Structure 1
Amino acid sequence: MSIATQHVLQLLGKDCYDIDIALDNMMGTEFAHKVTKYMLSIGEGKYFHKDGVIKPKPDRSKHLETAMLNLFGMRIDFVNLRSEEYTENSRISSKQSFGTPEVDAYRRDLTINSLFYNIHSDSVEDFTKRGISDLKSGRIVTPLPPKATFLDDPLRVLRAIRFGVRFEFTLDEDLKVAAACGDVKDALAAKISKERIGKEIDLMISGNQPVKALTHICDLTLFWNVFSLPPKFEPAIPDGCERLCISYLDTAWNLIHLLKESTFKDKERRLSLFAALFLPLKNITYQVKKAKMVPVVNYIIVDSLKRNKDAKMVLDLHQASQKFLSLIPCLASNEDLQPDDVDWIRGLIDDVSIASRVRVLTGFLLREIKDLWRVALLVSILLHPIGINDTEDESSQLHKRRDLFNTVESSIIKLGLDKVWEVKPLISGEDIKNVLQLEEGPLVKEWKEKSMAWELANPSRTTEECIDWLRETNSKRVKLE
């Protein structure tokens, strides 16, 4: 039985929620089938379910078939011990057979993950003779020479970084040299699926040290290998842009921790960090079919990381943060919004009093971004100039951004807009069609938006008053025509 990650956690006194079981005489699927059969035979079927089987893909550096069960709330992976032979000039296995624990241990990614727990002798077995010592000294080392280990499965570069920052361990110097070499970079691009890369990056961003993890990726010159770009884009990305990406990530991470703990849920914190990381790239675009220009951030998240659902949310956050920027001065100072202060939704506020414009535009923005508005606000705070002077250190600047966030958040709450997207409009599209005798079309949509602007400007008014306003405004419009 392999100790792997879960027993590393236990040896470090941390909680774990999964188990890897290594088998020396049968495949994982066969053993999982026997466990399933046994659980059913003793009437305990309700305590487990099958999670499936991951088939091996040697050309993508996924060498072993893994069977997965969820047993008593614990995920268990079953896999056979590995012994492999390789063809000349290739790291793709030409033959696999059942191996010994020692051979399997040396084929692992890291020495700290090569430990086994022998269920017969009730003891930890360290076949590389350094797994326990590296665990005690806090070192990230590969069992075999690092280049050979990484070429076997280049994703191990990212796993080494992730484990290093997760446990606050030191990356071995030879490991860092191998991780940055051209052969390993090429293999990472050619052999590893984007889904696997995306999963590792997501685990880093969701982990306890995202800035340190991404800094390692940057230091090892892997940033553009991981976050690969389309063949053509414009404008050109300036030198050192990856460092600026890390800087925005660092500020976002520190700002999140400076704010109230309850401000962001895990999902919101994660999206904040992704949005911050790619902020320097938000105005760079590439061309897709029919000459449509799309933000390069979309390519990175969808094509390079295969995190399709995240792409739309990050792009929406970037767009919303730009709109927030024009509103922050007024929301922070309670000043009226002047006609030329914004360049979006201008037509919707033409008939709104100056005193109500901030509320109307903020309401529209929050109805658009919904419960991610605090994330969009945080991203906009990263972009907002805060009047830094030469005597201020980074901590003082960060506290200024924290204070600005809290001020704007309080203003939005005082305006009664913090749940505005949940408020049902006073009148519907059907109401508008009936009152104005209109057919379905763009004019109905225009009146829906105008009526929402009126409602946001007049939060205490009734449905009847909204209908009266609609008739009166339409009558004036008809006369002007």
Structure 2
Amino acid sequence: MRLGLRLPGALCLRTLPARQRPGSKVLCPLANRFNHTKRTAVLSMSDLFSKAERPNKRRRIVNSAVPDSAMAQGTGGQTPRVHLSSEEALLRRLLLDTVEHICLRQKNKVNGPDLVLRFTGGWVRDKLLGVDSQDIDVGISTMTGYDFGLALKEYLDIPEKLEKYKAHYPVHALKGIIGGLHKIAANPKKSKHLETTTIRVFGFDVDLVNLRKETYTDDSRNPQVEFGTAEEDALRRDATVNALFYNLHTDEVEDFTGRGLSDMESKLIRTPLAPYQTFKDDPLRVLRLIRFASRLGYTIDPDTETSMYNDDIKHSLKLKISQERIGIEIEKMLRGPDPLGSLEIINRLGLYDTIFSDHQSEATVDTSPWPVVYTLLNSILNDELNSGISHELRKSVKGFLVRDKDEKYRSWMIAALSPWAMVDVKNPLTEDEVKKMAPHPARVARDSLRCEKKLTTLLSVAITHYGLISDVKTAFVNGELNTCLADTRWKLAKLIRTLGADWRLCFIQAMLLDVMQGKAAELVLKDYLKMLQFLEEQNLLDVYNLRPLVNGRDMIAALNAKPGAWLTSALEITVEWQIRNPDRSDAEGAIDEAIRRREEFKQ
């Protein structure tokens, strides 16, 4: 069944005109050549998509709020109307003009299939949810994206055509009318099975690609790809809500799966075709559906979930999909609006060992205490939640330790890998082993997710020094460091300097490991907050990058020595002196301290 949703205009379900169906012949199917008198069934936009239940956005957003015009209520009982933005309307007009240009250029050739353009996938879904996006995929029925892109540039190279846009549209919309045309080749190893052409038009990042059909075989994860119909292109997609198309010629949203609109109404994630075969063909779709479910706040269809935790599918996910692609999906989940939801689904479906596997170890990982970890982190990062832990306590801890989006993402990655961290806590590496291999979380991040070195280094530092962090925190809270302020300042400062710039995230890891071992979450937060407040009072939060008052040249001269490895230790003694004596800033005092303690380092 083919459904249409007019956009802009009254919201309706529509059976498309016969001349627009697959196999029909239209030389140049421009919007004004279609008959719009077919029977319609009216739906209420407020029934379909509630403004209050819009998801947070992953895509680049033009306007984070739903514009009033997007769901404007008509008068006299008319249904709500949905409008393209002025920039989207401008882009649509340009693309349709390009179709007409191509048709005129080929008017002497034998009539072929329709040249029909559609906005596809995520843009349509987000538009129905009231979200504007600068990223638009254009599905082309009978041309490659590159050929259409060349025709688009050719059209705008005609002076009078370009002037038409300058005359009829606001100047601000014409900034950089069109950017470079780039062809991205097919790369089956990364499951990019068809070439795509990208171009920047009117401020939009536009991907041009022909509609396609994918055929999989049992002995290969790489499909055979060929030109396809709009229905075939829709059915090959990962979820029904991602398979909606907006037909530029008819101003309608097309639902070739017959379930995309109803699944949006029901807030349901499911595959267009049988889920088992869908995941068998491309197991990465398992992770994509988890990501979309958490991002949109939707529920995964029970039959789809059953296939997601099937052992064959888990095996295929581990065997067929590259670590880079898995890592990209996990990062998108953890940077998205609901990392907690993603981790809960992964845990519920028993996918932890499949996704977060350590290829260098036969150690088994216990995920039974994992929910405590991600629940606590979520309560810290979303301090407005009613979690049973003091709101002010959680807000204060977050203010100290998680200052930006990147630290938030890395905190979630720490939580995701904490079950592996417990393996190291229970069986700590020896000093020799630490030199030869990284802790389990760092190895998993590096080998199974292909995370950046910055993150793997953080994980190594956090796990390796967990015992030190715990010991210093316990001693401080118990008053064992409070005999002398100078000593307390130095011992805490030394800890921060040992951990380095990411000490805050090391504290996050330590707190999560504490609760994994059964310690009460509120008590753990109180203990760390006490230490954090002391660091703030003593102006030691940034002590990790404190520079010595004395430079190396002056130290060498003062000790009348040759340069060597000793210099690092000598300068650190001067830093200790600075920390113990915050009211002094004279280099002479620091040098005197180094001279007094010169037996502690070899020259």
The residue aligned with 2:541 is 418
Does 1:294 find its partner at 2:438? yes
**What residue identity is the alignment partner of 1:327?**
V
Q: Give the whole-Å Cα distance in 1 for the aligned partners of 2:292 and 2:156.
A: 34
Q: Check 1:382–1:220 CA distance in 2 against 1; reply closer, same or farther (3 A cut).
A: closer
Does 1:439 find its partner at 2:578? no
What's the offset of the Cα at 1:383? 3.5
Larger displacement relative to structure 2 (157-166 or 378-387): 378-387
Q: Give the whole-Å Cα distance in 1 for the aligned partners of 2:370 and 2:151.
A: 50
What's the offset of the Cα at 1:53? 4.5
| Structure of greater relative contact order (alpha carbons < 8 Å, 6+ residues apart) | 2
Q: Check 1:290–1:459 CA distance in 2 against 1; reply closer, same or farther (3 A cut).
A: closer
**What residue identity is the alignment partner of 2:496?**
L
The residue aligned with 1:186 is 315
Q: Check 1:450–1:443 CA distance in 2 against 1; reply closer, same or farther (3 A cut).
A: same
Q: 2:374 aligns with which of 249, 257, 261?
A: 249
Does 1:279 find its partner at 2:279? no
Q: Give the whole-Å Cα distance in 2 for the aligned partners of 1:102 and 1:13.
A: 25
**What residue identity is the alignment partner of 1:421?**
Y
* Structure 1 residue ranges without an equivalent (≥5): 339-352, 390-396
**What residue identity is the alignment partner of 1:268?**
E
The residue aligned with 1:361 is 491
What's the offset of the Cα at 1:142? 0.6
Provide the secondary structure at the position in 1 that maps to 2:186. coil
Aligned pairs for 1:37-436 (under 5 A) are 42=162, 46=176, 49-50=179-180, 53-58=183-188, 60-87=190-217, 90=220, 92-94=222-224, 96-233=225-362, 236-238=363-365, 241-258=366-383, 259-260=394-395, 263-282=402-421, 283=424, 292-309=436-453, 310-332=455-477, 335-337=479-481, 354-384=484-514, 397-436=520-559
What's the offset of the Cα at 1:237? 2.7
Q: Check 1:266–1:72 CA distance in 2 against 1; reply closer, same or farther (3 A cut).
A: farther
Q: Check 1:290–1:161 CA distance in 2 against 1; reply closer, same or farther (3 A cut).
A: closer
Q: 2:147 aligns with which of 18, 21, 30?
A: 30
**What residue identity is the alignment partner of 1:123?**
E
**What residue identity is the alignment partner of 2:194?**
L
What's the offset of the Cα at 1:290? 12
Q: Give the whole-Å Cα distance in 1 for the aligned partners of 2:411 and 2:248.
A: 44
Check whether the contact 2:149–2:181 (CA below 8 A) recurs between aligned residues.
Answer: no
Larger displacement relative to structure 2 (323-332 or 249-258): 323-332
TM-score (norm. length: structure 1): 0.83
Provide the secondary structure at the position in 1 that maps to 2:583. coil
Identity of aligned residues (%): 31
* Structure 2 residue ranges without an equivalent (≥5): 1-117, 164-173, 384-393
Q: Give the whole-Å Cα distance in 2 for the aligned partners of 1:65 and 1:152.
A: 19
The residue aligned with 1:468 is 592
Cα offsets for 1:172-191 (capped at 9, x unmatched): 11111211223322221232
What's the offset of the Cα at 1:97? 2.4
Q: Check 1:313–1:294 CA distance in 2 against 1; reply closer, same or farther (3 A cut).
A: closer
Count of matched residue pairs: 452
Larger displacement relative to structure 2 (78-87 or 443-452): 78-87
* Alignment RMSD (CA, Å): 3.3
**What residue identity is the alignment partner of 1:130?**
R
Provide the secondary structure at the position in 1 that maps to 2:438. strand
Check whether the contact 2:190–2:325 (CA below 8 A) recurs between aligned residues.
Answer: no
Give 1 or 2: higher helix fraction.
Answer: 1
Higher Rg of the two aligned structures: 2
Cα offsets for 1:243-278 (capped at 9, x unmatched): 333432221221222333755311111111212222
Q: Give the whole-Å Cα distance in 1 for the aligned partners of 2:199 and 2:193.
A: 20
Check whether the contact 1:249–1:277 (CA below 8 A) recurs between aligned residues.
Answer: yes
TM-score (norm. length: structure 2): 0.68
Provide the secondary structure at the position in 2 that maps to 1:274. helix
The residue aligned with 1:343 is none
Check whether the contact 1:109–1:142 (CA below 8 A) recurs between aligned residues.
Answer: yes
Provide the secondary structure at the position in 2 that maps to 1:136. helix
**What residue identity is the alignment partner of 2:591?**
I
Q: Give the whole-Å Cα distance in 1 for the aligned partners of 2:433 and 2:529.
A: 43
